[in-house]
Amino acid sequence: MKKSILKLTAAALACLLAGAASAAVYAAPVPPDVTGKSYERAVSILAAKDIVTGDVDGQFYPDANLTRAQFCTIVVKAMQAPEATVNGTPSQAVKKSGFPDLDGYGWAEGYIAYAVEKGVVTGYPDGSFKPGSNVSMSELITMTLRAAGFSDASLGGVWPENYVAKAGDLGALAGITAPLPESATKWMAAQLVCNVLDRIEAANPPAKEPADVTETPEQPPENGGFVYVNNGAFDGDITTFAGKDLASDVQVYAYGLKADYKNDMKLSEDNADFLSETVYKYKSVETPAWYELQGNAVTKIILPHDVGFSGRAYSVLNGIVQMSDGEDNMVAGFVTYSAGRKITWAATAGLGAENIPSGKNLYDGGQLFELQLRNGKVTNVASVDSTDGAFNPPPRGGTVTELTPGKFTEVTAKTGTVVSMGDDVYEIRSNASVYVLEDGEYSVGTASSVRLKSMIRLYDVSDDKNNAADVVIIEN
């Protein structure tokens, strides 16, 4: 491999031109054992995006070897994988990769599964993954370039020479002199990923948010292509129904009532009788349904209006709308993000106006709400804390605690998932739901959205007594 670099990407230039700007412009602090090194800028750029982190003692240990599991987490974070997909949420488990040798690697399970799904990494011929083995330089380069959109088929040639040669052509090895070592170190991984970060991000644009759920479909689904199920069940991860996989873009329609569902049921030809829904409302629900298969995946499903998740949903509110409950009633609809998903929940017809939050401060003050749900409809709503002026009937049996003092509080230090606000120190769970509030409206964020000087509110909604944040709200 030649030491000279033929061409550099914009990212490679940014990672190498350490004199162009101080690393202090990035939110993440630079670990002291990286300061002044040739790879300082690369590490600081990735640290600002939470792609790499320091150790618990604040050091980076740049010359340490990386394991295959560790590098999977780095490259998948660079791919902008949805936080809920790789870490789960308080109500959704992490997808499993299927490898038999991942005991003790639960922290990496979701990242490995995502990398396998996207074709970035594979296991060994014996079916193992070897998560604790040092990642070789050839594997490092291969996984990085696959994350950037390259593949065995597109490159041709023989592995690993084909990937190493392509890395050289791209300038991906800028800052890493030949000869390449057998095993990759942490700083080399940071430099390599940073050099092609723009390509990785371009090849993996952030997923579009699910559509809101108060829309009428453009046309009704056709009865002839659907299969009737008398009593199917969604799994707790909302990835299967009646034992069939759900397509990632499954179309969900609410129609009629549960008592009307029979195998000779005829569907209306009026699209106004259907409501486009989101599948995230049906966690662990058992229900009759009509569904359509393409291959082995459910691509369309028709469900009764009077089924849905029962339990508590901890949510931020983007507003209250009027909507039909499917039973000829116009009711309040709560436009929310719940467990990181965009969902509009209809209220029960009996929920009075006095029990519905009102006032602009409830939507743009970082307030978390507990929605009590039965069959997918809101039976009670309460704000979590007792901030003056907030709507606050007491939550019914919830275990939620606000860790911040009833208002947005500035982050004064951050190390990995641990944040400090003055003398108070809290951990943000890896599967926390993160919401960003800007101009009075919420959107979904990630753990990397929390930075030094961020104004945040933290909530603990689990019953494990560990005093760690399951929900983070950031004021932008």
**pLDDT recorded at residue 243:** 87
Whether 396 shows a pLDDT value over 80: the answer reads no
**pLDDT recorded at residue 296:** 81
DSSP class per residue in 80-102: T--HHHHH-BTTBPPPP---TT-
Q: 447 and 80 in contact (C-beta within 8 Å)? A: no
The structure's pTM equals: 0.63
- pLDDT 10s digits, 89-107: 655 666 677 899 999 888 8
Residues 157 and 289 both lie in one domain: no
Residues 254 and 128 both lie in one domain: no
In a domain, 212, yes or no: no
Residues 380 and 274 both lie in one domain: no
Residues 271 and 328 both lie in one domain: no
Whether 210 shows a pLDDT value over 70: the answer reads no
- pLDDT range class, residue 206, cuts 50, 70, 90: confident
The 3 state secondary structure assigned to 224-267 is HHCEEEEEEEECCCCCEECCEEEEEEEEEEECCCHHHCCCCCCC
- Pick the most confident of 69-83, 142-156, 358-372: 142-156
**pLDDT recorded at residue 389:** 37
How many CB atoms are located within 10 Å of the residue 36 CB? 9
Whether 260 shows a pLDDT value over 60: the answer reads yes
Q: 398 and 354 in contact (C-beta within 8 Å)? A: no
Residues 295 and 429 both lie in one domain: no
Q: Which CATH number characterizes residue 385's domain? A: 2.40.50
Domain termination site, one of 254, 281, 303: 303
Domain termination site, one of 170, 203, 236: 203
Residues 89 and 198 both lie in one domain: yes
Between 254-263, 349-358, 453-462, the lowest mean confidence (pLDDT) is in: 349-358
Domain total in the chain:
4
Residues 280 and 142 both lie in one domain: no
Q: 467 and 402 in contact (C-beta within 8 Å)? A: no
Give backbone dihedrals phi and psi of 276, rounded to 5 degrees, phi first: -70, 125
Distance CA 49, CA 129 (A): 27
The residue segments making up the domain with residue 357 are 311-399
Distance CA 425, CA 342 (A): 30
Using alpha carbons, select from 337, 360, 338, 357 the residue that is nearest to residue 347.
357
In a domain, 423, yes or no: yes
In a domain, 214, yes or no: no
**pLDDT recorded at residue 266:** 83
In a domain, 243, yes or no: yes
- pLDDT 10s digits, 105-124: 888 988 999 999 899 998 89
Distance CA 318, CA 442 (A): 6
- pLDDT range class, residue 415, cuts 50, 70, 90: confident
Token readout for 163 is: 């990937």
